[in-house]
Amino acid sequence: MAFRNRLRFEHQLAALVGLLCLALVGATVGGAVWLERRSALRLAEARLARLAGGMAESLDTTLRERFREIQVVAGLDPLRERWGADATTIRGVLTAMRTTAPDYAWLGFVAPDGRVRVGTQGMLEGLAMSGRAWFETGLTRPNVGDVHEAALLNGLLVRSEPEPLRLVDLAVPVRDAGGRVIGVLGGHLSWDWAIRARRRLLDEGRPGTDLWVLDRQGRVILGPHLGTTPFGPARIGAMVEQGRGRFAAVIGDETVLAGFASAATGEGSGIAAGDPGLGWIVVAALPEAQALAPVQRSVQALLGLGAGIALVGVALAWGLGRRAAAPLRRMTAAADRFGREADATTLPRLDGAREFVALSAALRSLLRRIGAAERELSDAALRSTRAAAFYRRQIEDLRQVAGTDVLTGLRNRRGFAAPAEDAFAQARGGRCRVAVLVVDIDHFKRVNDQHGHDAGDAVIRHVGALLADAVREADTVARFGGEEFVVLLVGLGASEAVQIAERLCAAARAAEIAPAGSAIPVTVSIGVATVARCDPDIQAAIARADAALYEAKACGRDRVSVAAGTGAVERAA
C-alpha cells in the first residue's frame, strides 16, 4: 500500500509540473499561431477592402464619365435647333458617342410626347417611351436609373456575354434657347462593362476571391446567384453607414472574410445631384479557410517545436517528482494516520529540508487551533439555531395577530392588503380578472338595539363564516370594521361575481340565527365592482363597489348592485 501511494504521489507531482510546462509551451505556441492567423486575416481583409474599393471606383468612374457626356451633348448650343428638325445630324452625333464609348447599348432622343425621334442604328425609332421611369424623370431633371433587364433591346443587339442583357438608364432633359424642354436625351448603358471590370479584377486577385455588387436592398445585381440576398438588413445597414470597411460573416456553413465599399452613386457624387442615389455596395469575399491556407505550414512547424519542448519538460518534471517524493510521502503518511485513528491528535515532527520542518510545526499548531475553534463553533451554532427558531415563532405569531380580526377570525384591513395588492398587480398585468364585493349587514343597528351587542357579535360571526364558506381558497374575505366585509374574487369577472353575490344574499336570508333563543332575521346588501387596468390601486375598485353598495341600500336593501361600467346591470337578490 505504501509503495502504491508513493508512486501515485510522485506521478501527481510530476504530472503537475509537466502540465505547467505544457501550459507554458502551449500558451507560447498558441499565441504565436494566433498572431500569425490574425496577421493573415487582417492582410486578407485589407486586400479584399482594396479590391472592393477598386471595383466601386471603376463603377463610379464609368457612370460619372457617361453621365457627364450625355449632359454635355444635351447642352451643346450648336444642337439646340437641330434636335427636333435634323435627325441625320443628331443620329451622327449619337453614333459617334457610342463609337467612342462602346459601353452604350443605345442612345436616343425622345420627344416630349414620348416618341423616339432618333436612335443609334435607327433602333427603337417611333416607339413610345411614355410611362417609363427614365423618360418621365428625364423630362424634369438629369437622372441615373438602377440596373434592370433589357426589354426592347435584348433581341436587337449582338453580344459576347452569356448573361441576359441588363442596362443602366441615363437621361437628361434637352432644352431650347429659351429654356423650354423639347425632349429627353436617353442612354442605356450596358451592364457588360461592370461584368468585364469584375472579371478583370478577379483575374488580377487571389484565387478563390469573389466580387459581388449589391443594390440598396442587399440583392446581388452582379456576381453569382443573382437576385439573392447574402446578408441581413443589419449588415446592409452597417455597410451603408460605414461606406468602407471589412468584416467576417457565416454564409451557409462557411466563414467568409469580406471587404466592402459603397459606390459613390448618391447625392453629391456628381452623378445625379438631388437624386437619392442607387446605393450600390461592392463586396469582395474570400473563404476564411483559403485565406488561412498559407498559414498552415507555419502552424505545423510551431506545433512540432512545441511538442518537442513539452516532452523535455515532462521528463524534467518526472525527475523532480522523484526527488521531492520522499519527505512529502512521510508527511502524507502522518496526516493519513491523524485522519484515520481516533487516538492520533497531532502530527509528528518531520525531519529533512528546512521547509518541511517548518511546515510540520505549522500544521501541528494549526490542528490545535482548529480543535478549539470547532468546539466554540459548535456551541455558537447550537445557541444561534435555538435563538433563530424562537424569534421566527415570535414574528409569525405577531404577524398572525396583526392581520387577523379578533371577533370573526377573518383577515382585517392590514391582513387584506397583501393579497389585494398581489391580485391587483395580476389584473393590471392582464394575467387574470379580479372582482371585489363589499358586503354590509342590513339594519345592523336595529339588531344591537333590540337584541344586544352579544347578539350583534353573533350575527357578525355568522355572516363572516357564511362568506368564508361560500368562496374558494384562492379568494380572500376580510372584515373592514363594524358590519362591513370585503370579498376579493381572483380569476372571476363581473357576471361570475354577481352570481356569487346573489347566492350570498340568498344564503344570509335563509340562515337562522338565534343566539339567545329568539330568531334574528338577517339580510345583506352587496356592491360589486371589477378591477380595471386604469385603476391606480385596489382601493379604486373597492370605492366603486362601496358606491354600488349604497345604491343597493337606497333601492331597498337585501340585493346586489353592480358598479357602473362593470358590465352588468343591477338585479334583485
The predicted-structure confidence for 101-123, as pLDDT tens digits, reads as follows: 888 989 999 999 999 999 998 89
Residue 438 has pLDDT above 90, yes or no: yes
Residue 108 lies in a domain: yes
Burial track 426-456 (b if 16+ CB lie within 10 A, e otherwise):
bbbeeeebbbbbbbbbbebeebbeebeeebb
pLDDT at 20: 77
292-343 tens-digit pLDDT:
877 777 767 767 777 777 677 667 766 666 666 566 666 666 666 655 665 5
Residue 484 lies in a domain: yes
Choose from 261-275, 377-391, 434-448 the range with maximum mean pLDDT. 434-448
Distance, in Å, from the CA atom of 356 to the CA atom of 332, rounded to the nearest integer, reads 12
Same domain, 191 and 329: yes
Find the radius of gyration of the CA atoms of the chain: 47
List the CATH number of the domain containing 153: 3.30.450.20
Same domain, 200 and 305: yes
- Work out the number of other CB atoms within 10 angstroms of the CB of residue 160: 6
Q: Pairing between strand 116-119 and 571-572? A: unpaired
Residue 204 lies in a domain: yes
Place of cell 460619372: 64
Q: Which residue has the higher pLDDT, 476 or 85?
A: 476
Quote the mean pLDDT of the chain: 82
Choose from 2-16, 34-48, 237-251, 373-387 the range with maximum mean pLDDT. 237-251
CA dihedral of 546, 552, 556, 558, whole degrees rounded to 10: -90
Interval 444-469 mean pLDDT: 88
Q: Pairing between strand 476-481 and 559-562? A: unpaired
Same domain, 351 and 308: no
H/E stretch holding 551 = helix 538-554
Percent of the chain residues topping a pLDDT of 90:
24
Same domain, 91 and 171: yes
Burial of 552 (0-12, 13-18, 19+ CB in 10 A): buried
Distance, in Å, from the CA atom of 183 to the CA atom of 162, rounded to the nearest integer, reads 34
Residue 243 lies in a domain: yes
Residue 45 lies in a domain: yes
Q: Which domain holds residue 332?
A: 1-340
Same domain, 330 and 244: yes
pTM here?
A: 0.50
Q: What domain count does the chain have? A: 3
567 contacts: CB under 8 Å, gap ≥ 6 = 493, 494, 495, 530
Residue 70 has pLDDT above 70, yes or no: yes
Q: Which of 88-102, 141-155, 237-251, 263-277 has the lowest mean pLDDT?
A: 263-277
List the CATH number of the domain containing 425: 3.30.70.270
Same domain, 170 and 299: yes
The edge-to-edge listing of strands for the beta sheet with 476-481 is 476-481, 484-490, 434-441, 524-530, 559-562, 571-572
Between the alpha carbon of residue 482 and those of residues 268, 511, 523, the distances in Å are: 82, 20, 15
Residue 269 has pLDDT above 80, yes or no: no
Same domain, 78 and 215: yes
Same domain, 397 and 494: no
Residue 408 lies in a domain: no
Distance, in Å, from the CA atom of 135 to the CA atom of 121, rounded to the nearest integer, reads 20
Grid coordinates given for 362 = 505549522
176-225 tens-digit pLDDT:
888 899 999 999 998 888 888 888 988 887 888 989 899 888 899 998 88
Same domain, 354 and 476: no
Q: Which residue, among 429, 428, 436, 438, has the nearest Cα to 532 in the 3D structure?
A: 428
Distance, in Å, from the CA atom of 182 to the CA atom of 113, rounded to the nearest integer, reads 10
399-425 tens-digit pLDDT:
566 678 888 888 998 889 889 898 888
Grid coordinates given for 558 = 337585501
pLDDT at 530: 93
H/E stretch holding 386 = helix 354-402
Residue 406 lies in a domain: no
pLDDT at 343: 59
Distance, in Å, from the CA atom of 250 to the CA atom of 231, rounded to the nearest integer, reads 9
Residue 152 lies in a domain: yes
2-8 contact pairs (CB < 8 A, 24+): 2/329, 2/333, 5/329, 5/332, 5/333, 6/325, 6/329
pLDDT at 3: 47
CA atoms within 13 Å, Cβ hemisphere of 471: 25
CA atoms within 13 Å, Cβ hemisphere of 88: 0
CA dihedral of 512, 513, 519, 525, whole degrees rounded to 10: -80
Grid coordinates given for 208 = 478563390
Same domain, 424 and 463: yes
DSSP character at residue 121: G
H/E stretch holding 107 = strand 104-110
Domain termination residue (choose one: 293, 315, 340):
340
Coil, strand or helix: which one is 58? Answer: helix
Return the amino acid letter for 346.
Answer: T
Same domain, 48 and 181: yes
Return the amino acid letter for 226.
Answer: L
Same domain, 225 and 127: yes
Domain termination residue (choose one: 340, 371, 389):
340
